[in-house]
Amino acid sequence: MENPEPITLSPDAEVEEEPLITNLDIFLFSLMAGLLIYWFFSRRTPQDVPQMKPIPSVVTPMRETSFIEKMKKTGRNIVVFYGSQTGTAEAFATQLAKDAQRYGMKGMPADPEEYDMSELPRLTEIPNSLAVFCMATYGEGDPTDNAQDFYDWMQAAYDSLEGVNFAVFGLGNKTYEHFNAMGKLVDKRLAELGAKRVFDLGLGDDDSNLEEDFVSWKELFWPAVCEFFGVEATGEDCCVRQFELVTQSDINMNQVFTGEMSRLRSYQTQRPPFDSKNPFLATVTANRKLNKGGVRHLMHLELDISASKLRYDAGDHVAVYPTNDVALVNRLGELLGVDLNTVLSLNNLDEESNKKHPFPCPSSYRTALTHYLDITSPPRTNVLYELAQYASDPKDQDMMRKMASSSAEGKALYQSWVLAPQRHILAVLEDIRSLRPAPDHLCELLPRLQARYYSIASSAKVHPTSVHICAVVVEYATSTGRTNMGVATTWLKNMAPTDNGHPASVPLYVRKSQFRLPFKASTPVVMIGPGTGIAPFMGFLQERAWQKEQGKDVGETVLYYGCRYRNEDFLYQEELEEFERMGVLTQLNVAFSRDQEHKIYVQDLMKENKEHLWKLIHSQNAHLYVCGDARNMARDVQSAFHQAAEEVGALSHTQAVDYFKRLMTKGRYSQDVWS
C-alpha cells in the first residue's frame, strides 16, 4: 500500500490552522496498515516458507587404534608389526601371521602407524601372547616412514614391558654403514624395557639373499615359539585365502579405481596435501637423452609441480609411481585366460582387519596388473608354495614346493631357477606350462608395485615449480634368453611431452632427506657422484650459484665426477663447465674410466688430491657428500678418505675410521647411496 502524500507547511507560516490529520487518524491508519501486512503474509501457503530440514547425523566408523582390543575381540594372541618401505617387511609379517595357525595360534599383521604403540605393555592382558617385529632399515639407519612414530616412542619410552614376549627380524643391507640399525634398536630397546626375548634377533641382508635369510630364521623361530609356549605344530596347511573374490558385472565405472593410490578419482580432482597415498599428477615438460653415444640410455626429465603446492630442498627425493609394461600385462592375461577388463573386488575375509583389500578395489584385472601389482620381480618362495596347487603336473608341484622349502637343495634350486635368471611371474608361467593359477588368487599373492625414489636433480631456489630427474634406463639380458626392462625407467623413457592436449603425466610426491647443503654458504663442500650419482649435486650447484648471485660468500665447491668416456656419457658436461667458468664450481675433477688402457675412478683422483682434501676436511670443516653405488664406489671413496687422513693427517687406520664416523654423526659426511 502506498503512503498518503504528506502535507507540507509553508515555511513562513507562523500560526497553524486546525490540522487536517489528527493523531487518531494516524493511529487508525497504522492499525489498518498493520492488518493488511499481516493478511498479506499470513495468506501465503506453508510451502512458500522455506523449511530447514534437520541434518541427519552421520557416524563415521572410527578405525580401531587399539591393537590390544582388536586382538581380544578376534581371539588373536600373536601380533606381527612391520616397518616397511618397499612392502617386503609387510609381506614377511603377513606370512608369519598366516603361519601361526599351523601351531594352533592366531596372528595378525599390524602397521604400527595405525595403532597406539604405547599400549604395548598391555599385551600381558592376553594369555600366551607374542609381539613380533619385522623392521626394515631405510637409508642411513633410519626407520621407514610408517615406523617413524614407533621409533620416536621407543627412544623416549620408559614404560615397563615386564611380561611382554617378543622377537625381531630385521631387514637391511650390508653395503650400508648402518646395517639393520632399526632391527637392532628395536631388539635392544624392548629388552632394556624388560620384555622377554623368545628368539634371537634375525638379520636379513638384501645384498645377499634376504628371502633365504628370512626363511632360515623363521624355520628356527617357530620351534622356539612352540617350546616357549608349550605347543606343537598342528600340521594344518596355511594355504588359506585371506581375501575373497567378488566380481562386479553391472557397476558404474565411475566407482571403479583406474590407478589411484587411495581416493577414488583423485587423479581427476586433485586436492592437496600430496603424499604417498595422494600423489600429484605432474606434467612432463622435458625429457632428453643425456649421453651422446653408447648402448645405454641416460635421461633428464623435468616435471611440472606448479599446481601442487609441493615444496622441496636440494637433496630431497622424488617418488614416482610407475606402471607396468602393457605387453607384459596382456601376455599375463592371455596365460591366465582372463578378460582383463573384468571388474573385481578382493575383500578381506577378516572383517576386523584394517586392510580391507590388497589393492584399491573395485578395479579391473588390467588396472590391478598395470598399476597396483609387481609383476616383474622374482616371486617369493611363499608365493611359489601357494601357487603350486594350481600346477596340473605333479612334478611341477614338487619342484615349486621344493623351492619354497628351507632345505639346502630347495634353497639352491630357488637361487638357480628363480633368482639367478631373474624369472618374474610371467616367465614362471611360461616355463611351467602346467601352472595356471586362479587369476584372483595370483592378484592376492603378488606384492604391491612400489614407488621408485630418485634424487632430485634441481634446486627449488632456481626451479620452484619443477623437479628434475636424472636416471639410466635399466635393461639386461637373462640366462633364459629374455630381456628384462626396468619398470620405472622404461616407463619414464617413453614419457615424451606432447602438445596434442594429452600431456604425459607422472604421479609423484616428495620425500624429505637429510642430504643437505651446509647452513652457511661459506662452508666448503666436497661432492663425489659418478654416473647418475651426479643428480643431487646438480641441485647443490644450482643453489650455490643462486647464493653467489644473492651476494653471499660461497665457500669452496669441489666435485669428483666419473663416467666411462668423455665423448659418450659425460652427463651435464656443458652445465658443469659453465658452473666452473662462473666460479661456482671451484674444482671439477672428472674420472673417465675407459678412455685409457687402465681404468681411472673417482677414488683415484681423490688419492691424487689427498693433501687438498685433508686441508678442506680437517682445517676448513668441509662437508662431504657421496651419491651413487653403495656396494663398491661408496666403500672405495671412504677408503680414499681414510688414506688421506692416514698419509696426510698422520692418523692410524683406527683413528682415521673413527674420525670419519664422527663426521657422519655430526652430519658433515652424508651419503645418498643405493645397491
Residues in CB range of 316: below 8 A, 6 or more apart: 456, 510, 511, 512, 513, 515
Query: Cα separation of 541 and 517, whole Å?
Result: 10
Cell match 578405525: residue? 63
**329 annotated ligand-binding residue:** no
**85 annotated ligand-binding residue:** yes
Query: Cα separation of 444 and 459, whole Å?
Result: 41
**226 annotated ligand-binding residue:** no
**178 annotated ligand-binding residue:** yes
**159 annotated ligand-binding residue:** no
Amino acid in the structure at residue 131: A
DSSP string, 259-283: S-SSSTTTTTS--SPPBTTB-EEEE
The sign of the CA dihedral 119, 124, 125, 128 is: positive
**532 annotated ligand-binding residue:** yes
**188 annotated ligand-binding residue:** no
**509 annotated ligand-binding residue:** no
Q: Which phi and psi angles does 283 have, rounded to 5°?
A: -80, 135
**472 annotated ligand-binding residue:** yes
Nearest residue to 527 (alpha-carbon basis) of 642, 631, 670: 670
SS3 assignment for 345-371: EEEECCCCCCCCCCCCCCEEHHHHHHH
**636 annotated ligand-binding residue:** yes
236 CB neighbour count, 10 Å cutoff: 11
**603 annotated ligand-binding residue:** yes
**34 annotated ligand-binding residue:** no
**88 annotated ligand-binding residue:** yes
Cis amide bond preceding 362, omega within 30: yes
**86 annotated ligand-binding residue:** yes
**600 annotated ligand-binding residue:** yes
Q: Which phi and psi angles does 394 have, rounded to 5°?
A: -55, -35
**180 annotated ligand-binding residue:** yes
**173 annotated ligand-binding residue:** yes
Phi-psi region of 422 (alpha: psi -120 to 50; beta: other; left: phi over 0): left
**593 annotated ligand-binding residue:** yes
The sign of the CA dihedral 591, 593, 599, 602 is: positive
**602 annotated ligand-binding residue:** yes
**471 annotated ligand-binding residue:** yes
**115 annotated ligand-binding residue:** no
**156 annotated ligand-binding residue:** no
Beta-bridge partner residues of 561: 590
Query: Cα separation of 585 and 576, whole Å?
Result: 8
Give the pairing of strands 475-477 and 317-320. unpaired
Q: Which positions are catalytic?
A: 455, 627, 672, 674
Query: Cα separation of 134 and 179, whole Å?
Result: 15
Q: Which three cell numbers stand for residue 291?
A: 649421453
**385 annotated ligand-binding residue:** no
**38 annotated ligand-binding residue:** no
Instruction: Sheet containing 298-304: give its strands across.
Output: 452-455, 317-320, 505-511, 280-289, 298-304, 466-472
**124 annotated ligand-binding residue:** no
**174 annotated ligand-binding residue:** yes
Cell match 593359477: residue? 437
Do the Cβ atoms of 80 and 143 come closer than 8 Å? Answer: no
Query: Cα separation of 243 and 237, whole Å?
Result: 17
**454 annotated ligand-binding residue:** yes
Beta-bridge partner residues of 673: 628
**531 annotated ligand-binding residue:** no
Query: Cα separation of 491 and 326, whole Å?
Result: 10
Query: Cα separation of 669 and 515, whole Å?
Result: 9
Nearest residue to 621 (alpha-carbon basis) of 515, 525, 514: 525
**563 annotated ligand-binding residue:** no
E strand or H helix at 452 = strand 452-455
Query: Cα separation of 377 and 87, whole Å?
Result: 12
**658 annotated ligand-binding residue:** no
Query: Cα separation of 516 and 671, whole Å?
Result: 10
Query: Cα separation of 30 and 36, whole Å?
Result: 10
E strand or H helix at 623 = strand 623-629
CA atoms within 13 A on the CB side of 135: 28
Query: Cα separation of 21 and 31, whole Å?
Result: 15
**599 annotated ligand-binding residue:** yes
Which residues carry a binding-site annotation? 84-89, 136-139, 171-180, 206, 296, 452-455, 470-472, 476, 486-489, 532, 593-594, 599-603, 636, 674
Which residues carry a binding-site annotation for FMN? 84-89, 136-139, 171-180, 206
Which residues carry a binding-site annotation for FAD? 452-455, 470-472, 476, 486-489, 674
Which residues carry a binding-site annotation for NADP(+)? 296, 532, 593-594, 599-603, 636
